[in-house]
Chains A and B, each alone.
Chain A
Amino acid sequence: MATAAAHRTARADDMAEADAARYEAVFDAAVAADERIEPRDWMPDAYRASLIRQMAQHAHSEIIGMQPEANWITRAPSLRRKAILMAKVQDEAGHGLYLYSAAETLGASREDLLDKLHTGRQKYSSIFNYPTLTWADVGAIGWLVDGAAITNQVPLCRCSYGPYARAMVRVCKEESFHQRQGYELLLALSQGTAEQHAMAQDAVDRWWWPSLMMFGPPDDESAHSAQSLAWKIKRHSNDDLRRRFVDICVPQAESLNLTLPDPHLRWNEERGHYDFGPIDWTEFWEVLKGNGPCNEQRLSQRRQAHDEGAWVREAAAAYAAKHNGATGAADGHADVAVGPSAEQAGMSGEA
């Protein structure tokens, strides 16, 4: 076995291992120092895979999330509200675009990620599997669902992966508009006629618990949490963010003159937080498995839009090929670099 060739292979393996260890050390130091990891930097495969999964599912949530609200565009009760809602749904499509672009910096392709969504191999937020039954649901989504999303996403503005963090800065600015608009919509209903007030209360009653579930499973049942926290993809645990959200919502519900559907909700002087009742995790896992009220409908509408649009995308690609010599859309993947960048190396004191 001790041929020269085998010897060279062994040496190359040793060197590759040594390189990997060195790269990993540089990466770990960058994360520890709160540096941003950029697309051309070396990163552990699992970090890359975890980010692609999270960003893709975030992007999917934006585009599936258009459906429950778009359900009310054609029935919005005033032109002002209709304009606000249309702008919001448009923003969500834009957020989807930012997030797919950010995921593509990691070597994924939008087409492939969409395929994973359409075939159920990647998920989207459980919240969008609930139906919008009245106009007030549009307000409840703005106030509670966007509120929960912001609570989740503001810490992501400091996420260790640069493109994701920067996408979040832009997304959060727009989301906070949506959240205020939702609150204002509910306020108008709450201060309106008795029927409008009842409509607002009913919507909050139906959206409260699903909104709390948006923060994900409890910390001791969250598969990805520990690693994501170590890599500084996540900055706070699910339960921490959920507590923070409840603390924000309770006084807002009071000023809306609406109640939250939880008999256990009360201020805990000792902890400095609100205590709240148990979440129905059976429902959460069922919805996540595809058995929620609208899972089937949401996915089939998405697939239908995609399938029925295939001839349009093919036409655009054929036209581009004829006229620009181009091959069509979405075939350029980001370069995936294998070594640490100069910046990372410099940061860790290497030449």
Chain B
Amino acid sequence: MTVTVRTGAVLALGDDALVLSHRLGEWAGHAPVLEEEVALANIALDLLGQARVLLSLAGDEDELAYLREERAFRNLQLVEQPNGDFAHTIARQLYFSTYQRLLYAQLAAGDSEFTGLAAKAVKEVAYHQDHAEQWTLRLGDGTDLSHERMRRACEALWRFTGEMFQPVEGVDVDWAGMKATWLETVGDVLRRATLEVPEGPQSGAWTAGAGRQGLHTESFGRMLAEMQHLHRSHPGASW
């Protein structure tokens, strides 16, 4: 597959949605309350729907999802992070859905091949962001235990957030402005949740832009092994 600027941009957005959808799918049957089984699956399905539209812009969705190796995936390292406890999953959702909402709002207002998708997806991600925000408030401002877990989760994932604002070639948005708005929005939610905005670097030397260049964290390979195993075991079969 030739990766042009265009396919690079499509894959960046598509892989984010595909990989996070997969992680959320791992929650099925394990959620803390039935309503969250429904909500997490709902978000996973929205993201999978976005991934399918995006990947189809670049080629065959299944070939792209199931036959690329780790180094060819362009998703953010944030979305591939293991689920951890519920607080980790919520922190990852808060960071990512806030980003995706800002990104799609700009894309929906612009004029590119992403406009149509973004116009539909922005409604979905507004719901995702609301869900993540509500849970951040409940966990942060719930019990001492939940506060501590939410604090740890927000801190642990903080270093993966800088990567979101590394400009993706072919995605025409105001990256610097988006970062400022994101910091403001997330900072506001965290403060209302009685949490502090983490102080560490948003991206260390290793993580800066790495996912977008196909450099991933170790758990990602294992995730792909599980995801791709059956498809790869039956080359050429249709399902």
Contact = CB atoms under 8 A, between A and B. Distances in A.
Interface of A: 63, 66-67, 70, 73-83, 86-87, 89-90, 93-94, 96-97, 100, 135, 185, 188-189, 192-193, 195-196, 301, 304-306, 308-320, 322-323, 329
Contacts of B65: 79
A309 B62 CA distance: 34
A309 B25 contact: no
Given A86-B44, A316-B142, A74 B26 contact: yes
| Secondary structure call for the A interface | helix
A75 B229 contact: yes
A243 B229 CA distance: 39
A89 B227 contact: no
7 contacts: A74-B226, A86-B45, A93-B34, A93-B38, A94-B38, A309-B32, A319-B138
Contacts of B48: 79, 82-83, 86
Given A77-B231, A89-B41, A193-B234, A312 B28 contact: no
Nearest to A135: B230
A305 B25 contact: no
Interface string B15-55: 00010001001101111111111100110110011011001
Given A66-B37, A78-B62, A97-B38, A309 B51 contact: no
A82 B17 CA distance: 14
Interface of B: 18, 22, 25-26, 28-38, 41-42, 44-45, 48-49, 51-52, 55, 61-62, 65-66, 85-86, 137-139, 141-143, 145-146, 149, 226-227, 229-231, 234, 237-239
A329 B146 CA distance: 17
B28 A73 contact: yes
Nearest to A329: B33
B53 to A, nearest CB: 11
The 5 closest A-B pairs by CB, nearest first: A309-B32, A315-B142, A315-B146, A90-B41, A93-B37
A97 B35 contact: yes
Nearest to B150: A315
Given A79-B52, A93-B38, A305-B30, A311 B149 contact: yes
Nearest to A62: B34
A305 B31 contact: yes
B143 A311 contact: yes
A90 B234 contact: no
Given A89-B41, A97-B38, A319-B142, A312 B239 contact: no
B239 A78 contact: yes
Contacts of B45: 83, 86-87, 90
A41 to B, nearest CB: 28
Given A196-B234, A311-B149, A319 B141 contact: yes
B28 to A, nearest CB: 4
Contact of A81 (B86, B227, B239): B239
B52 to A, nearest CB: 5
A184 to B, nearest CB: 11
A86 B28 contact: yes
Contacts of B51: 79
B216 to A, nearest CB: 17
Contacts of A195: 234, 237
B85 to A, nearest CB: 8
B226 to A, nearest CB: 5
Nearest to A192: B237
Nearest to B49: A83
A79 B234 contact: no
A70 B28 contact: yes
Given A75-B230, A185-B239, A188-B239, 8 more contacts: A83-B45, A86-B28, A87-B41, A97-B35, A135-B230, A309-B33, A310-B32, A319-B141
A314 B146 contact: yes
A320 B66 CA distance: 43
B49 A308 contact: no
Nearest to A87: B45
A96 B34 contact: yes
B33 A313 contact: yes
